[in-house]
Amino acid sequence: MVATSVDLPRLVIAAPASGTGKTTVATGLIAALHRRGLAVSPHKVGPDYIDPGYHALACGRPGRNLDPWLVGSSRVAPLLLHGAGDRTAGDRAAGDRGPADIAVIEGVMGLYDGMASRPGYASTAHVARLVDAPVVVVLDTRSMARTAAAVVLGLRAFDERIHLGGVILNRVGSPSHERMLRSALAEIGVEVLGAIARADEFVSPSRHLGLVPVAEHAAGALAVVDALADAVERSVDLDAVLALARRAAPLDVRAWDPGTEVGGAVTSTEPVVAVASGPAFTFGYAEIPELLVAAGARVVGFDPLRAAALPPGTRGVVIGGGFPEVYAEALSSNRALRAELAAFDGPVLAECAGLLYLGESLDGAPMVGRLPVRSRMTSRLTLGYREAVSVSPSCVGDAGETVRGHEFHKTATDPGHGTTPAWGWNGAWHGFVDRGLHASYLHTHWAGHPSAARRFVEAAA
């Protein structure tokens, strides 16, 4: 396909480290721009599921991830344009409303922090280069004055391919503190786009894996997002931010297209694929339902906390990640749905939370019982990228296929894998393949291996 030149104003919100207020500023900025009547396309560097939920709440468009490890470097800019572009009538049901006026991309960790084994790969700086976007640094200025300029100078000089376009000062202590910071940054020729006072800091509820997802405290989350928008409107020069974003050069790539990726519909019967949602299952990438639809499925959501049965005509089930441990008793009490899932004979994909739900028990509470697995909370966080090899043929792939994914959990299962494992990585087997079911801790992004969507719909049809 011939690439086209697309003019998309865009910027990346970065920081020297985690915990400086990136999510606070990015979410507030998205919401403030949306209040101006702009269509904002929100994106997140890395595999994180929770921050994109806040982004979506701030602007009414799905938060989308940009992760070179999960999808490949060549797909990052096309996926950005897909999220920011006009949607078809069917896609608009997901929340996108026409082409975006600006894309705001929240970074991950520190600006140059990426994979330990491949320095800088999948970092915020890496993604900023892939999408050729200016970078705005959020700087935590507590206990800092002139040194702020030294930090920003180092970030700018470390990689001259990065266009560091400005700084937003965060947690500023007083007007005099702000004057000192602005003076120091003027010495190195870096524009200060805003200064947010310490008094404007907001805290959203969090737990063992980070922020509480939007779906779990909708009213509280909306109040937080509104407060963040107020703070950004008071403290950030939005006109200067927009001017910076508009200086981004046109992108000479074609937008990612799910139909092209899966090679068109594999069936005309539109088998129903039920996708778990609701407070207990909030983790999922927006492109996965799009790929299923492109492959010929009709995607219908269901909430395992409340649904008495699977959607009518269900031929396949996808249960992604989330926090079933928080809702174990409520999930257990929905006996009718548990029984139906235990007897369901179509293809089932379960990732992380889905694995826990389909086992015999979770922290002692009875679950679906489809797998002979007992799960429990632990004190150990398992986190990291994985390169996995498919051990067994299943509803999402053939044996021997290599897939990139990530783990993110504080639970453990007994046993850790079945007699027919799902994956192999780091010299060990992981997960379960059993009678059309594929379940494991591995989170995958099907934009990186769209054949999984095609395979799943074929199995459902």
Active site residue 352: yes
The count of other CB atoms within 10 Å of the CB of residue 146 is 12
Q: How many helices (H) and strands (E) does the chain have?
A: 15, 24
**At residue 389, what are phi and psi to the nearest 5 degrees?**
-110, 130
Helix axes 287-294, 451-460, angle to 10 degrees: 60
Could you write out the DSSP letters of every residue in 316-364?
Answer: EEEE-BS-TTTTHHHHHH-HHHHHHHHH--S-EEEETHHHHHHSSEETT
Signed CA dihedral, 165, 133, 120, 193: sign only:
positive
Any idea what DSSP says for residue 368?
-
Cα distance between residue 134 and residue 337, in whole Å: 49
Phi-psi region of 251 (alpha: psi -120 to 50; beta: other; left: phi over 0): beta
Catalytic choice (305, 352, 433, 439): 352
Q: How many CB atoms lie within 10 A of CB 456?
A: 29
Q: How far is CA 456 from CA 292, 336, 406, in A?
A: 8, 25, 20
Give catalytic residue positions. 352
